[in-house]
Every structure is written in structure tokens, then in C-alpha cells.
Structure 1
Amino acid sequence: MTDAALLPDKRQVAASFSRAAATYDSVAALQRQVGSQLLARLPAAAEPLSWLDLGSGTGHFSRALAANFPRAEGIALDIAEGMLRHARPQGGALHFVAGDAERLPLRDGSVDLIYSSLALQWCEDFACVLREARRVLRSGGTLAFSSLCTGTLQELRDAWQMVDGFAHVNRFRSLATYQALCRDSGMALVSLDVRPEVLHFPELRQLTGELKALGAHNLNPGRPGGLTGRARIRALIDAYEGFRQPAGLPATYQVVYGVLRKDS
């Protein structure tokens, strides 16, 4: 099975994140941390005349980009219209656009910087995302992204495997796939690395509640339908307890950071 076949339908992704717009910021500590680290990876001499926040969500990093580059024209783009409605009144970008990273509604060579934090893991065709990024970037422009790869939420996945054989946890493409596609993108690969980020929760319900509030609960194709029975939840809790650490129940995110440059 290919990496793409493991990914959820983008219409379901858009609907899930639209519903989560009002609750997202209250539980987005990891997203803030990762996005800030991605900002720090932008080229030191970057002075874009225009930037695109790709998968802009509630607009937190659109506002950060506007503060960093006050003379640049900013575009916030997201597939979830509910996120855009939430972000627009808070400003940051000049334009708020509903769009798909695999079919960007932008002209060729129209932006100097594409910033995308924890959004591209939901795209089925990452090669197409890279082609679109290369198309809309001006010569010398930069694509900086963070995403998730296999191994993310491995503890939750393993705990569910002890309970039943269904796909209860979102699946992500492999690091090797990111490496190969970035290498073949036609852009210069400035950097690409993966860093684990581990959150800890006092109880399992805090983790599952956070995933729901983020809109990032189980969106897998082939996921089990209907309600999860009480006995299976009890079995899941017991299985996850086997991973408990002194700080609490761990939830590991394997975060990929990439920076690419369009040289021509």
C-alpha cells in the first residue's frame, strides 16, 4: 500500500478542521512550538515582498509572518473555510483564500516565501504540493514546511493494536518519502530533518480530547464506524498505561522540518 493510500479524504479533513476552528487555539501548544521553530529556520536574510501561509488555520502564524515582514503582502490559504472565517477578523494577511495545496489558486512566480506548518501531512500527493510550490515561487524563493511522518502517536497506535486490528490513529507518510520527493522536486534542498516532540498527559481522555479539539482525531480511510464500546475503551486505557512515564502518558510526534529554495 502506498503512503498516499493511507491518507484521509481532504473533504473530511476540511470539514473536521472547520468544525474545530473555535477550539483549536486552546489546545495548540505543540503547533505553536513547531511553528515557532519553523520560523527560526527561515533564511536569516529573508526579505520577501510577498508570502503565503499555506494551511494557515486560525491565522496565528499569518500574524507572526506579518510582524516579521511588515512591508510584505501576505496571503493566508487554507482548505478549511471555517478556519478562514475564524482567522479573517484577527488580521495578519492581506488576503484570505480558500484553496488546496495541490492546486494553488495563485499565479506562476507570484510569491517569495511559502511557510507551511503542520498542514501538508494531510495532502495526499506531496509531489504535487512541491510542484505547485515551485510553480508559484519566484526565482530565489523559499519553501519552509513542517509536517508529520510515520511514528507519530505511536504509543496510541500500539495501544489500539493490543485491543483490535482497526486503524484508529491517523497514518502519515514515511520520512524516506519526504526525502525522496524533496530531492526530486527541482528545488535546492537546504535542510530536511526530523525531531521527535513528546507531550505528556495525566490520563488518556486528555489526549483524545485534545485531538478532537484540534480536528485531528481519526480521519483514516477504513476507520471503524459508530461508537467505541465501553469495554474497548477500558481495554485501551489499560493498554496505554503500559507506556506511562513519570511525567505522564507520552504522545510522541515525529516532526519533519524542510527548507527548499527555488534557484531558477
Structure 2
Amino acid sequence: MLEQLPVVPDKRRVAASFSRSAGSYDAVASLQRQVGAQLLARLPHLTSPRWLDLGCGTGHFTRLLAERFGADSGAALDLAEGMLHHARPRGGARHFIVGDAEALPLRDASLDLIYSSLAVQWCGDFAAVLGEAQRVLRPGGVLAFSSLCAGTLGELRDSWRAVDGFTHVNRFRAFRDYETLCAESGLEVSTLERRAQTLHFTDLRALTRSLKDLGAHNLNPGRPDGLTSPARIRALAAAYERLRTPEGLPATYQVVYAVLNKRL
């Protein structure tokens, strides 16, 4: 049985948050760069594909895909218009499109490759994302995605639980749900794996500032209203300090990597 996300962040809220963070995103996107590069390394050999960077953000990987496959055969799509305004002047694709991964504004069988790094975790209906990939890919086409699953930022979640009962950390679907949905998608699963990747921060402020600058701070319904009191921040910092390592305060991301193929 699928473990559905209890409540999914509103898409408009997600788009607005990332739009506001377009200018600060690249400076704090070290994990995003690492994950995207590892996803690029997992791509099979393709000859002159028509490709899409799905959830392109500021266009960093759009430009790397263009170097590899050519810009004229590529498109970049994101739900956040602010990100596209930031990406478009830098080039890398023939088309920059505002769009939703759950309802792609693209023709059937129009692509050979969909690359999507750390975007689809914001989609409430991942079965629809896979269905759209199945629709727009040509036979033999490839969907390569990375995402986040349950357990991400577990240190921060556990530290908040010592303070109050509100939802402070974004919730993501379980890895077993990715396994089930990919298996049922009609696409052939070439690889699907989960890997933990841990960043370290000097203090709590550095971590929360990084999440805010990424646009990936708490977007869930059920989050507390208003500003967090100084007393609760001190309690959170004290709880998190108990997890400190020689490298700093750990923040672990549970990353999903997948490569799926449309059958010939």
C-alpha cells in the first residue's frame, strides 16, 4: 500500500517560494549541484536526443545538458516563473517554459530524454508525473530523475520534536512508494536507488538560512503561524547541538536516483 503524503504543499506556494529565491539559490545549492552531477553521470549514451530539463531552476543543469546534447534540441521547464526569468538570459535551451510536471504542455512522443533533478518531490501526484513522462517520451526514451524521500532532514525534524508538535520540516513520500509507483508506471526501471548525503553546518542559523535562500524552507500546511519565539529557537538549537559531530551540525538528505526507459 502506498504511503501517501498526508498534506502536500500548495503548488502556488512552492512556485512563489522558489521564484523569490532565484537570486540567492545558486550561492547555497551545493547539495543540488552534487546530486544533479551524479544524475548526469547516470545517463545512458544518447545520440542527438530531444531533451527536457524538468524543474530546471536557475538553469545550471540546462546549460550542462546543452554542452552534452546541444541547446537547439533542448527545452527547460519550471513551475516557478522567477526561476525561468533567472535562467533564460543565460541560455542553454531553445525553449524556456512555465509548466507543471503533472500536466506537461508538450506533444505526445516528442522527447528522447527527460532529466529532472530535485524537483519532483514537490509533486503531490507522482503517478501523474510518470504518466506524463510515458506520454511525451518516444519509444526508447529515458526519464532520469533525482528526488528526496522520507527521512530527509531527520536531524532537524527530531530536534523540533523536542520543542513543539508543529510541522517544521518538509515531508516527502517514502522510498517504497517510489519503488511501487515506478514499477506500475509502464516504464522499464533501469536503476532506482536511495543514497544518504549529509551536509554539515557551523550552527543552526547557517542551516536555516541555507534552506531559506534555496526556497526550500517549511512549505507544509500545519506549520506554525507567525515568527518563532526566541525561547523556542534556543530550545531547538540546544536539541540540535546534541547531534554535533567534529564536522559540524549534520543535515542528512535521503536522495532517490532513478533511470527509467520507455519500452520500444
TM-score normalised by structure 1 residue count: 0.98
Residue 19 (structure 1) aligned with residue 59 (structure 2):
no
The answer as to whether partners of 1:48 and 1:72 remain within 8 angstroms in 2 is: no
C-alpha displacement of 1:2: 4.9
Alignment-mate amino acid for residue 127 of structure 2: A
Q: Alignment partner of 1:6: what SS?
A: coil
Alignment partners' CA distance in 2, 1:4 and 1:185: 19
Alignment-mate amino acid for residue 251 of structure 2: A
Q: Alignment partner of 1:178: what SS?
A: helix
Alignment partners' CA distance in 1, 2:136 and 2:226: 42
Query: Residue 65 of structure 1 corresponds to which residue in structure 2?
Result: 65
Give the 5 Å matches for 1:188-207: 188-207=188-207
Give the 5 Å matches for 1:136-175: 136-175=136-175
Alignment-mate amino acid for residue 225 of structure 2: G
Residue 42 (structure 1) aligned with residue 39 (structure 2):
no
Identity of aligned residues (%): 66
Alignment-mate amino acid for residue 259 of structure 2: V
The answer as to whether partners of 1:4 and 1:125 remain within 8 angstroms in 2 is: no
Give the 5 Å matches for 1:76-225: 76-225=76-225
Over the residues paired in the alignment, what is the CA RMSD in angstroms? Answer: 1.1
CA displacement 1:189-213 (0-9 Å, x = unmatched):
0000001000000100000000000
The answer as to whether partners of 1:204 and 1:249 remain within 8 angstroms in 2 is: yes
CA displacement 1:60-116 (0-9 Å, x = unmatched):
000000001127511000000000000000000110000000000000000100000
Alignment partners' CA distance in 2, 1:224 and 1:109: 44
C-alpha displacement of 1:4: 3.2
Runs of 4+ in structure 1 deviating by more than 3 angstroms, as ranges, are: none
Mean Cα deviation higher: 1-10 or 131-140: 1-10
C-alpha displacement of 1:223: 1.0
Alignment partners' CA distance in 2, 1:243 and 1:165: 20
Unmatched segments (≥5 aa) in structure 1: none
Alignment partners' CA distance in 1, 2:255 and 2:7: 18
Alignment partners' CA distance in 2, 1:159 and 1:71: 45
Unmatched segments (≥5 aa) in structure 2: none
C-alpha displacement of 1:5: 2.9
Alignment-mate amino acid for residue 20 of structure 2: R
Residues paired across the two proteins, number: 263
Alignment partners' CA distance in 2, 1:257 and 1:3: 20
The answer as to whether partners of 1:195 and 1:254 remain within 8 angstroms in 2 is: yes
Alignment-mate amino acid for residue 24 of structure 1: Y
Alignment partners' CA distance in 1, 2:48 and 2:256: 24
C-alpha displacement of 1:234: 0.3
Q: Alignment partner of 1:173: what SS?
A: coil
Query: Residue 56 of structure 2 corresponds to which residue in structure 1?
Result: 56
Mean Cα deviation higher: 4-13 or 76-85: 4-13
Alignment-mate amino acid for residue 150 of structure 1: A
